[in-house]
Chains A and B, each alone.
Chain A
Amino acid sequence: MLLKWQIQRLLHQTQHSLASPSRNPRATVVIGRLLGIAFLICFATGTYSHFIQEPLPGMVFLTRPIWLYQVSQGIHITAGIICFPLLFAKLYTVFPGLFQSPPVRSFPHFLERASIALFVASSLVQITIGLLNTYQWYALFPFAFRQTHYALSFVIIGSLAIHIAVKLPIISRYWLKRDAVTADGEIAGHEVVDDPAAPDELQRLTGKRQYAGVTGRIFQWIDSSPAPRPQTSRRGFFATVAVASAALVTLTAGQSFRVFDATNLFGARKNDVGPQGLPVNRTAKRAKVLETATSADWRLTVSNGESTKVFSYDDLRAMTQYEVVLPIACVEGWSQYATWQGPRLKDLIAAVGAEPSSTVRLTSLEQDSSYAQTTMQPEFVRDDLTLIALDLEGEPLDIDHGYPARAIAPARPGVLQTKWLSTLEVMS
Chain B
Amino acid sequence: MSNTTAPEPILAGRMTVTRRWQTGLILVGIALLVVGAITLLNDVAPKDYIGIAIWFLGALVIHDGIASFVIFGVIVVMRRASRKIPLAVIAIIQGALAIGAIFFVIVVPAILKKDIGSANTSILPLDYGLNLVSFYAGLAVVTAAAIAAYLVLARRQNARPSSSQN
Q: A residues engaging B (CB < 8 A)?
A: 14, 17-18, 20, 81, 84-85, 88, 91-92, 95, 98, 117, 120-122, 124-125, 128-129, 131-132, 135-137, 141-144, 147-148, 150-155, 157-166, 168-169, 172, 221-222, 225-226, 228-229, 232-233, 235-237, 239-240, 243-244, 247-248, 251-252, 264-270, 273-275, 279-283, 286, 400
Q: A267 and B126: CB pair below 8 A? A: yes
Within the complex, the shortest CB–CB distance from A398 to chain B, in Å, comes to 11
Q: B79 and A222: CB pair below 8 A? A: yes
Q: B76 and A222: CB pair below 8 A? A: yes
Q: A226 and B82: CB pair below 8 A? A: yes
Q: Which residues of chain B in 73-92 are interfacial with respect to chain A, using CB atoms and an 8 Å cutoff?
A: 75-76, 79-80, 82-83, 87-88, 90-92
Q: A150 and B39: CB pair below 8 A? A: yes
CB of B148 closer than 8 Å to a CB of A: no
Q: A269 and B51: CB pair below 8 A? A: no
Q: A159 and B33: CB pair below 8 A? A: yes
Q: List 30 A-B contacts (CB under 8 A).
A: A88-B102, A98-B68, A121-B57, A125-B55, A131-B106, A132-B113, A135-B110, A135-B123, A136-B119, A136-B123, A143-B55, A148-B44, A150-B43, A158-B31, A158-B35, A161-B28, A168-B22, A169-B18, A226-B79, A229-B87, A232-B88, A240-B95, A265-B134, A268-B110, A268-B123, A268-B124, A269-B123, A273-B121, A274-B122, A281-B123
Q: A158 and B44: CB pair below 8 A? A: no
Q: B residues engaging A (CB < 8 A)?
A: 18, 21-26, 28-37, 39-40, 43-45, 48-52, 54-57, 59-60, 62-64, 68, 71-72, 75-76, 79-80, 82-83, 87-88, 90-92, 94-95, 98-99, 102-103, 105-107, 109-110, 113, 116, 118-126, 128, 131-132, 134-135
Cross-interface CB contact of B95 among A157, A158, A222, A243, cutoff 8 Å = A243
CB nearest neighbor in A for B35: A154
Within the complex, the shortest CB–CB distance from A272 to chain B, in Å, comes to 10
How far is A162 from B29 in the complex, measured between Cα atoms in Å?
A: 5
Question: What residues on B are CB-neighbors of A120 within 8 Å?
Answer: 59-60, 63
Question: What residues on B are CB-neighbors of A131 within 8 Å?
Answer: 106, 109
Give the interface SS of chain A, mostly helix, strand, loop or mixed. helix
Q: A131-B106, A240-B98 are in contact. List 12 more A-B contacts (CB 8 A).
A: A98-B64, A121-B59, A136-B113, A152-B36, A158-B30, A159-B29, A225-B79, A239-B95, A240-B95, A243-B99, A266-B107, A268-B124
How far is A20 from B94 in the complex, measured between Cα atoms in Å?
A: 13
Question: What residues on B are CB-neighbors of A161 within 8 Å?
Answer: 25-26, 28-29, 32
Within the complex, the shortest CB–CB distance from B140 to chain A, in Å, comes to 14
* Given contacts A165-B22, A270-B125, A232 and B87 within 8 Å (CB-CB): yes
CB nearest neighbor in B for A169: B18
How far is A168 from B123 in the complex, measured between Cα atoms in Å?
A: 44
Q: B18 and A168: CB pair below 8 A? A: yes
Q: A144 and B45: CB pair below 8 A? A: yes
CB nearest neighbor in B for A117: B60
* Given contacts A240-B94, A270-B125, A274-B121, A160 and B29 within 8 Å (CB-CB): yes
How far is A225 from B109 in the complex, measured between Cα atoms in Å?
A: 37
Q: A95 and B44: CB pair below 8 A? A: no
Within the complex, the shortest CB–CB distance from A138 to chain B, in Å, comes to 10
Q: A142 and B54: CB pair below 8 A? A: yes
Question: What residues on B are CB-neighbors of A141 within 8 Å?
Answer: 51
Question: What residues on B are CB-neighbors of A244 within 8 Å?
Answer: 98-99, 102-103
Q: A135 and B71: CB pair below 8 A? A: no
CB nearest neighbor in A for B21: A168
Q: B50 and A142: CB pair below 8 A? A: yes
Q: B36 and A155: CB pair below 8 A? A: yes
Question: What residues on B are CB-neighbors of A286 within 8 Å?
Answer: 119-120
Within the complex, the shortest CB–CB distance from A306 to chain B, in Å, comes to 36
How far is A150 from B43 in the complex, measured between Cα atoms in Å?
A: 9
